A = this chain, B = another copy of it.
Amino acid sequence: MNYADRLEAAVQRTGNACVIGLDPHPALMPEEFAVCRDASAPRAKRAQATERFLVEVIGRIAGRVPAVKPQSAFFELLGADGVAAWERVVAAARAAKLLVIGDVKRGDIASTARAYADAFLACEEDFRCDAVTINPYLGADSVEPFLEVCAEQGAGVYVLVRTSNPGSGLFQEHGEPRLVDRVATEVARWGEGLLGACGLSSVGAVVGATHTAELAQLRERMPHTPFLIPGYGAQGAGVDEIKPGFLAGGRGALVNSSRGILYAHKNPAHADKSWQDATTAALDAMIAELRAAAEGC
């Protein structure tokens, strides 16, 4: 089944559009997993602790949200041991019926792009991602191999259009029309061949919540494109900033929170709780907030 339709079904089933970023940042891990920040500990031990933490997080959020978004950088930091942990974490998320969006931001050309697409979207089924993020800088021939694999596997991609970092404008705002608008137009076109029965495409766009004025314009330019919206929570955007990214009825966008959920125990508001309860409380609040926002769309 087409990724867009599977995503739509998952959002319907859980009644919200949250995606939880699985960024195993060693410095932020709960005390129980302090070995992750001990550079003298064997790499395999740090990878095991990373996996244990994320599998426990997955257990807490399973059934409550449609998707998770593991971030490859923090796994690669642990080399081959980290990538083995990635595979087991993805497998745990899949087993828990969560969609998995691999946040890998890959970009290369021809057979190399195809190798990346196969690596994440057509590997062993146990730890296959449902979708990945990709970088458009190299042009259409860097995206097309991913579109082929999406068509073959019922998978999805999210193309970086507008990122949430303060310096994202340096190149993304270049030119007239701005590069971000040019990329958005192409993303809408690439998506035409991968429309689901739900009317949305399996070709999505990463559109940061930290540029609110743009979100409505980009929504207009990409009317059938599922958005993946980073920047909520720890990066500063609230629910009002995000609303313009949704389609009518609160459809068409996933909103990501990573640190705000995984490391909620670092938030003074949750200082009295275990990390597990802090995570659950933060997730409760996010779900409630996004539900209210979606109802207002």
Contact = CB atoms under 8 A, between A and B. Distances in A.
Interface stretch (A60-68, A116-124, A276-284): A116-124
A73 B108 CA distance: 9
A136 to B, nearest CB: 6
Given A74-B115, A174-B175, A179-B179, A138 B107 contact: no
A169 B86 CA distance: 35
Interface stretch (A76-84, A214-222, A288-296): A76-84
Given A73-B116, A107-B135, A115-B74, A179 B186 contact: no
Can you tell how many copies of this chain the complex includes?
A: 2
A112 B171 contact: no
Interface stretch (A5-13, A160-168, A245-253, A266-274): A160-168
Contacts of A77: 115, 118-119, 123
Contacts of A74: 112, 115
A155 to B, nearest CB: 16
A241 interface: no
Contact of A141 (B106, B112, B119, B165): B165
B79 A119 contact: yes
Interface string A139-179: 11110000000000000000010011111111110111001
Interface string A87-109: 10000000000000000011111
Given A77-B119, A119-B73, A139 B109 contact: no
Given A175-B175, A179-B179, A79 B139 contact: no
A160 B105 CA distance: 14
A23 interface: yes
Interface of A: 23, 25, 43, 71, 73-74, 76-77, 79-81, 83-84, 86-87, 105-113, 115-116, 118-120, 123-124, 127, 135-142, 160, 163-172, 174-176, 179, 182-183, 186
13 contacts: A23-B112, A71-B108, A73-B106, A76-B116, A79-B119, A80-B84, A109-B167, A135-B137, A136-B137, A137-B160, A137-B172, A139-B167, A175-B175
Which 10 pairs across A and B sit closest by C-beta, in order of nearness? A175-B175, A141-B167, A139-B167, A80-B84, A73-B115, A139-B170, A109-B165, A76-B119, A80-B83, A137-B137
